[in-house]
Structure 1
Amino acid sequence: MDQTRGWFYTLTVLGAALFGKSPFENCVVNGTVLAEDGKKMSKKLQNYPDPLEVVHKHGADAIRFSLMSSPAVRGEDLRFAEKLVEENVRSVLLPLWNTYSFFVTYANAAGFEPMDTRKKSTHPLDVWIRAEVQDLANRMTKELDAYDLSATCAELHETIDALTNWYVRLSRRRFAGKGVLDAYPDGSGDAGAQDQYDALTTLYDVLLTISQLLAPFCPYITEAIYLNLVPEDHGSVHLTDWPETRKLTQVEDLLLRKTRIMRSIVSLGNSIRAGAKVKVRQPLQKATIALPASERSAITSDDLNLLRQELNVKEVQFAEDPKELAEPFVQVDARKVGPRLGKRVQEIINAGKEGKFEVQPSGSILILDETLSPDEATLTYRGKEGQDVAADKGVVVSIDTKLSDDLQREGDARDIIRGVQRVRKESGLEFTDEISLTVEGAEDILTKHKTLIESETRSTIGPCEGDDHTIEVGDRKVTIRFIKR
């Protein structure tokens, strides 16, 4: 109210009186930043964290981004708490910095040098992440044009997660390709080196674009990333142009929708594992998936292989009808239908939960004699008794979480791989270093999975000297020793 009475009204009166028009076309109103307990921040009460300590601990960028993404920039009050800053560091800034550090590590190992003129990779993952970042630029530009700062910041979370937990993770083997990149892109060399170059080039471009998009909100971290990636004198990310917007092609749009569906499937699979207390690296036998009819046809055989890998199962099957896996019900948004339905709200909510509804061809849902729009009611699913099922937005996933002896031993092999990789890192070895490895106490696992362990840990298993290290594998302890070759 102080802003409105003391500033906006005054400007409007002066503009109208002196020039006959409003002095501004758009007006951004800030809310009040309160203490965590909802009271006004007070030096006497000391009910707020020391700002300099928060800056020292999390960085100025983290505080800036947290405030820009908060309700305060929409004219609403904000109860400030340090955990708000911590959450933005965890979900946006730290993943971005880790991705940048990952790129620098692999780019240096490969001798990567960016080139001004180059063809863009046609690898599906590269095409997808470029489309994802272009879509981010389109969305952020639209929100900024509407002066919605918090919505602009919110757009980043999904893309940062997609970059770190999908693109980088699925491309790790590509980043660790063979040879030094002294041949590309002129066509000579092997396919592994070309694929590595394509992955590094794509990630380089993506990091630059995200740095430009994030720069107004986090000026310091984006400047640090940009200046290290772009070797130019007196350069700055803040002197570059804002990324251009363009309409996505039909192919890009289809790829985005398909990838988001696949990520949703994997996320649901991981939630089933968490509920059943089964580790992600433990192989399982089968996953069954039900998708909306409009999305099923887009899934290719390559996509199935990727889903099999990401869900860590031996088989992936599709169910024709979600009802084979789960029971449908409708979630009604009481806040949206309350003013219209009045006292009938609870009756409609209960009927939706009990399955007393019909989905109309238009997408609306008929519950009893009331028609609800897709914004007012959502069709979802709950697992049938005795089945491990998860669902979200029409996607239903069921996973068989029972373990056979063979599956258990393969899972134990994955535990050995994880243990060896951890000790390698703690010992200061580079990811490219090869080792001689001794494994004691896991003879039954080595009988079938020796080759897997060797390939994943860059090792040759056999007798060797070295310090003993104990790792936990299932319910047993295994001793490993290794030396760098």
Structure 2
Amino acid sequence: YPHCWRCHNPTIFRATEQWFIGLEKNDLRARALEAVKEVRWIPGWGLERISKMIAARPDWCISRQRVWGVPIVVFYCNQCGEPLTDRKHLDRIVELFRRKTADVWYEMSEAELLGPEARCAKCGSQSFRKGSDILDVWFDSGASHLAVLNETYGLPWPSDLYIEGPDQYRGWFHSSLLVGVGLRGGSPYRSCATHGWTLDGEGRAMSKSLGNIIEPQTIVKQYGAEVLRLWVASQEFTDDVRISETILARLSEAYRKLRNTFRYALGNLFDFDPEKDPLPAADLLEIDQWILFRAEKLVKQCRAWYDEMAFHKVYHAVYDFATTDLSAVYFDVLKDRLYTAAPRSRARRSAQTALYRLNYALVRLLSPILTFTTEEVWSHMRLPAGAPESVHLALFPQPDELAAGLGAEQRKRAKNWDRLMEVRDQVLKSLEAARQEKFIGAPLEAAVHLTVNGDLYPLLQQYAAELPSLFIVSQVTLERQDEKALSIHIGRAAGVKCERCWKYSTDIGSEPELPTVCGACAAAVRQALEG
């Protein structure tokens, strides 16, 4: 015999009368098997799993012998034992439950519950006793959608999503489906997602005996709720997931980088009015157009991943975009224009226009994951006309928002910048080598000489004026050759260091009123003073 887990005495099985829902009655099994095909299962193997369970399961025993619970509303004749099944008498009980809850079953007598007209259909007796069985608790939970998705709460039936662990294919997913099909003719959920279990950093189940439990409250207190949410979003939730102090510390650093992305944008948009200051998209500098096309692709991908509930892909894509495309490239290149160009110049307004579009898209794109941070960012933004007071009332960004106003020609030219970025990567490696050798200190002390072959030379010559800012050096020169595709030589920049932009230039003091700045900075200062 099996033994009781608590007292360790042998357990003896005894057959007793119970209440069942017949799976073949009214074709419930067949209809349930059809209903599951209409549900979106995440992951996809959920369909096969629940289909096999429904196909092979016995009739559903819904009665339990417990002291307390939701009662099965049935009365038995005290004379002959016949159950009372007349609907008109049972509807009276349902109405009492509706007005006073199921507690009336335990508070009122049989006569009070049934009223004076109830008689046994078999022997005519008016003496009854209440049944003592309660409903299977899985029937309770399986009927929860009927209690919630109704006119009282203004919620439509069925629900959009059920989400639970893999054990619920035999539990909540299963019982809810049978109740929904039996009473409403379909599944109570359109989609059903299954998450894995949370393990420690070594892949072990968490338990008090191992001492490896990490309480959510502890994480929130130490790292903040946003880091906990970021951890959840960063995981492939349909698999078992790991958590540890090392993982949380790494995600805390990732959160800091995402937060700093917003800080950079807000800090450089302090004097930008989205209603008055944006440039037409076609007038933006090409590198600004390039980053908007990159962001357009990001938004398109992330929206598709949100629809798939692939939140980990959203997190990794946005994080890579923020740290690689923005922080390591675009923001680095942008600093010179934002800090040294005249406040209302085309160069600076172009940068701010692109920066505003990026920030406005990213804050909405990340709002389901970094809920508090994005709300904080939203509260410090200059919002466009008609924007809601909360980011969580705003709509997701559309991909074409980012590149609105840009046509096929701009999209074609933006591909040039993909090739320029490859050249930039090689130049930065050479600059780092020169810095390690103590030949230069900062990159602005360098002059870069590029020797390139015929395939690459026309492209670099076309963008020659852009190369110093792209490489963040003071000077760049080009030379054509036929052999090697690209050869890079790092030399010392000619001229004197500008006091304002820190670039080395041979025209320092060209404006007598500003003897310590270069010609470009002198023009920017003059334009700023003129307003």
Other-structure match for 1:224: 376
Q: For 1:253 and 1:233, how far apart are their aligned partners in 2?
A: 29
Q: Which segments of 5 or more consecutive residues in structure 1 lack a partner in the other structure?
A: 182-191, 326-396, 402-406, 421-430, 435-445, 460-485
In the alignment, is the contact (CA less than 8 A) between 2:453 and 2:480 conserved in 1? yes
How far 1:61 sits from its partner (Å)? Answer: 1.7
Aligned to 2:275: 115
- In 2, the alpha carbon distance for the partners of 1:233 and 1:135 equals 24
Q: How does 1:276-287 map to 2 (within 5 A)?
A: 277=436, 281=443, 283=446, 285-287=448-450
1:241 aligned residue (373, 388, 395)? 395
Matches within 5 A, 1:306-455: 306-307=466-467, 309-311=469-471, 312=473, 314-315=476-477, 324=484, 399-400=488-489, 407=491, 410=493, 454-455=516-517
Question: Which deviations, in whole Å up to 9, do the C-alpha atoms of 1:54-106 show, x marking residues without a partner?
Answer: 434433222212221212x2x11222133434444444x43443343334444
Alpha-carbon displacement from aligned partner over 1:196-238 (angstroms, at most 9, x marks no partner): 3333233223212110111011111111111111369981111
- Shift of residue 151, structure 1, vs aligned partner: 1.5
Contact 1:35 1:47 in 2 (8 A): yes
Structure 2 equivalent of residue 32 of structure 1: 197
Aligned AA (1:127): Q
Out of 294, 297, 316, which is 1:154 matched to? Answer: 316
Determine whether 1:70 maps to 2:235.
yes
For 1:195 and 1:3, locate their aligned partners in 2 and report how far apart those are by CA, in whole Å. Answer: 58
Q: CA deviation at 1:448?
A: 8.6
Is 1:206–2:358 an aligned residue pair? yes
Give the 3 Å change call, closer, same or farther, for CA 412–40 of structure 1 in structure 2: farther
Q: Could you tell me which residue of structure 1 aligns to residue 3 of structure 2?
A: none
Question: CA separation of 1:154/1:447 partners in 2, compared to 1, >3 Å: closer, same or farther?
Answer: closer
Secondary structure of 1:299's counterpart equals: helix
Paired residue for 2:264, among 95, 102, 105?
102
For 1:125-274, list aligned pairs within 5 A: 125-160=287-322, 161-177=324-340, 192=345, 194-230=346-382, 235-246=389-400, 249-251=407-409, 253-271=411-429
1:138-173 deviations in Å (ceiling 9; x for gaps): 111122222222122222123313223333222223
8 A Cα contact 2:234 2:312, kept in partner:
yes
Matches within 5 A, 1:6-85: 6-49=171-214, 51-71=216-236, 73=237, 75-85=238-248
1:41 positional shift:
1.9
Distance 1:245 1:198, change over 3 A: closer
Match of 2:15? none
Contact 1:130 1:206 in 2 (8 A): yes
Closer/same/farther in 2, CA of residues 243 and 84 from structure 1, 3 Å limit? same
Which amino acid is the alignment partner of residue 61 of structure 1?
E
Percent of paired sites with the same residue = 18
2:459 maps to what in 1? Answer: 299
Structure 2 counterpart of 1:166, one-letter code: V
- Residues 342 and 348, structure 2, Cα contact 8 Å, conserved in 1: no
Distance of 1:51 and 1:413 partners within structure 2:
57
Could you state the TM-score of these two structures normalised by the residue count of structure 1? Answer: 0.56
Amino acid at match of 1:125: I
* SS of equivalent to 1:26: strand
Change (3 A) 1:448 1:317: closer
The 8 Å contact of residues 295 and 358 in structure 2, kept in 1 or not, is answered as yes
Q: What secondary structure sits across from 1:79 in the alignment? A: strand
**Counterpart-to-counterpart distance in 2, 1:201 and 1:223:** 21
* CA radius of gyration, larger in: 2
Judge conservation of contact 2:266–2:380 (CA < 8 Å) in 1. no
Q: Do the aligned residues in 2 keep the contact of 1:36 with 1:47 (CA within 8 Å)?
A: no
- Give the corresponding residue for 1:359: none
Mapped contact 2:494–2:505 kept (Cα < 8 A): no
CA drift of 1:27 comes to 2.9
Answer yes or no: is the 8 Å Cα contact 1:33–1:77 preserved in 2: yes
CA contact (8 A) 1:286 1:399 kept: yes
Query: How high is the TM-score relative to the length of structure 2?
Result: 0.51
Deviation sequence 1:375-404 (CA, Å, 0-9, x none): xxxxxxxxxxxxxxxxxxxxxx66457xxx
Counterpart code for 2:290: W
Q: Quick one: distance in 2 between partners of 1:33 and 1:139?
A: 28
| Paired amino acid for 2:294 | E
User: Hey, what's the Cα distance between the residues in 1 that align with 2:478 and 2:218?
Assistant: 51
Contact 2:198 2:242 in 1 (8 A): yes
Report the count of equivalent residues: 336
